[in-house]
């Protein structure tokens, strides 16, 4: 196989890539088959990844992160694919949820949640999709209604990555009239272990990503402090989603391309099995 070097790679990233690979080979691959069969990875893998510095790599060090940039995230995504470890929802945890909190959270929210996400003490999920609402996010029906200093959440979500493990869930809710559109949407953070009325549903069967716990979630009168609205102001959620969703799409595209490169090489050489590209950067 011809080794190719990406323009964005440098020596530091190369070394990081090697250590990520070794971490997956040591801590994930021996369990991969079992995790695929069980439909989720072991919870303590998140803590091990936190200890190894693989969580929240783009989050500044003052909030517990590694202080890296999107290239560090990309290296992890690539190595997940190249080692054939595809059940970890870190793209959602570190690549999506933590950046939402960093970008829009109040100082208090950032200090409260980001360090726990960086160590793996908390696993994060983002709950947008509902049984009747996918692409058209303005149509979500989950509500978060004011009751004094609280918000009371009612609704159902589905296809939520990290759904079985998540302790911190960014929930897309209507804080205004449910039939209203974008301006009524807020992102409300639910700390799953601190509330009543929150329930994890089925861990859904999928055609791939078998070890990724993509789940149904239920919210029945879940009461959270009104301060848990991301950024503090209601009605900003749709704009926050529109600004961050391209990053999510980029991570998914990166993973897809990383997966495909060895397949193209193998097909070109008439091989059925494809090697993992140790030196393909
Ligand atoms: C493995 C996996 C993990 C996921 N993780 C999460 C998660 O962590 N959090 C979360 O909230 N959701 C998650 N999802 C859900 C995902 O975001 C939705 O599947 C996606 O938003 C599409 O919604 P839908 O499946 O309801 O399809 P629909 O919105 O019903 O779309 C069906 C088809 O119609 C097309 N379409 C829709 N609207 C239009 C239009 N206006 N014009 C033209 N074409 C259109 C779509 O492109 C698609 O091809 C996950 C899904 C999967 C499979």
Q: Which listed residue (27, 73, 80, 248) is catalytic?
A: 248
Ligand 1 proximal residues by C-beta, below 6 Å: 92, 125-129, 134-135, 159-161, 206, 209, 214
Q: 2.40.50.1070, 1.10.1740.10, 3.10.129.10, 2.40.110.10: which CATH number matches 124-238? A: 2.40.110.10
> In angstroms, what is the span from residue 135 Cα to ligand 1's centroid?
5
- 229 three-class SS: strand
> In angstroms, what is the span from residue 48 Cα to ligand 1's centroid?
31
Whether 248 is a known active-site residue: answer yes
**CA–CA distance, 127 with 11 (Å, rounded to integer):** 37
Cα dihedral 162, 281, 257, 22, rounded to 10, equals -30
The model's confidence at residue 262, banded by pLDDT at 50, 70 and 90, is confident
> In angstroms, what is the span from residue 49 Cα to ligand 1's centroid?
29
Domain limits of the chain? 11-122+244-268, 124-238
pLDDT tens figures, 96-155:
999 999 999 999 999 999 999 999 999 999 999 999 999 999 999 999 999 999 999 999
Average pLDDT over every residue of 178-192: 93
Backbone angles phi, psi at 89, to 5 degrees: -90, 35
pLDDT at 156 over 90: yes
Q: Please give the pLDDT value at position 259.
A: 87
Q: 3.40.50.2300, 1.10.540.10, 3.90.226.10, 3.40.718.10: which CATH number matches 11-122+244-268? A: 1.10.540.10
Q: Which pTM does this prediction carry? A: 0.93
Pocket test for ligand 1, best of 97, 129, 131, 240 (most atoms within 8 A of CB): 129
Residue nearest atom 48 of ligand 1, based on CA coordinates = 135
Residue 147's alpha-carbon distances to 37, 142, 225, 237, in angstroms, are 43, 16, 10, 20
Residue nearest atom 15 of ligand 1, based on CA coordinates = 159
Residue 242: other Cβ atoms inside 10 A: 11
pLDDT at 179 over 90: no
Q: Give the number of C-alpha atoms closer than 13 A to the C-alpha of residue 53, restricted to the C-beta side.
A: 10
128 CA: nearest ligand 1 atom? 11
Helix axes 11-27, 44-51, angle to 10 degrees: 150
pLDDT tens figures, 7-64:
889 999 999 999 999 999 999 999 999 999 999 999 999 999 999 999 999 999 999 9
Helix axes 44-51, 107-119, angle to 10 degrees: 100
pLDDT at 279 over 70: no
Q: Length of the chain, please?
A: 281
Radius of gyration of the chain (CA): 19
Residue 274, token pair as written in the block: 């494809």
**CA–CA distance, 217 with 2 (Å, rounded to integer):** 45
> In angstroms, what is the span from residue 24 Cα to ligand 1's centroid?
29
pLDDT tens figures, 208-256:
899 999 999 999 999 999 999 999 999 999 999 999 999 999 999 999 9
Q: Please give the pLDDT value at position 214.
A: 97
């Amino acid at each position: 196989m011809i080794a190719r070097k990406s323009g964005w790679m440098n020596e530091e990233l190369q070394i990081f890539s090697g250590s990520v690979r070794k971490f997956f080979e040591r801590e994930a691959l021996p369990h991969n088959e079992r995790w695929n069969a069980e439909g989720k990875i072991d919870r303590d893998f998140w803590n091990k990844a936190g200890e190894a510095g693989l969580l929240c790599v783009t989050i500044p060090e003052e909030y517990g992160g590694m202080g890296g940039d999107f290239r560090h995230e990309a290296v992890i995504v690539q190595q997940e694919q190249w080692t054939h470890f595809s059940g970890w929802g870190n793209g959602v945890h570190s690549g999506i949820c933590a950046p939402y909190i960093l970008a829009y959270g109040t100082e208090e929210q950032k200090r409260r949640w980001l360090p726990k996400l960086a160590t793996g003490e908390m696993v994060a999920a983002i709950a947008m999709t509902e049984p009747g609402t996918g692409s058209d996010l303005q149509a979500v029906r989950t509500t978060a209604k004011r009751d004094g200093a609280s918000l009371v959440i009612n609704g159902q979500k589905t296809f939520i990555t990290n759904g079985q493990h998540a302790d911190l869930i960014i929930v897309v809710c209507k804080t205004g009239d449910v039939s209203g559109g974008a301006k009524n949407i807020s992102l409300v953070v639910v700390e799953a272990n601190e509330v009543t009325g929150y329930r994890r549903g089925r861990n859904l069967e999928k055609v791939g990503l078998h070890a990724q716990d993509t789940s149904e979630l239920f919210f029945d009168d879940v009461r959270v402090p009104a301060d848990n609205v991301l950024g503090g102001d209601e009605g900003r959620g749709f704009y926050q989603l529109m600004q961050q969703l391209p990053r999510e799409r980029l991570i998914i595209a990166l993973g897809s391309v990383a997966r495909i490169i060895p397949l193209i090489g193998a097909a070109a050489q008439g091989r059925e099995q494809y090697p993992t590209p140790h030196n393909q950067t």
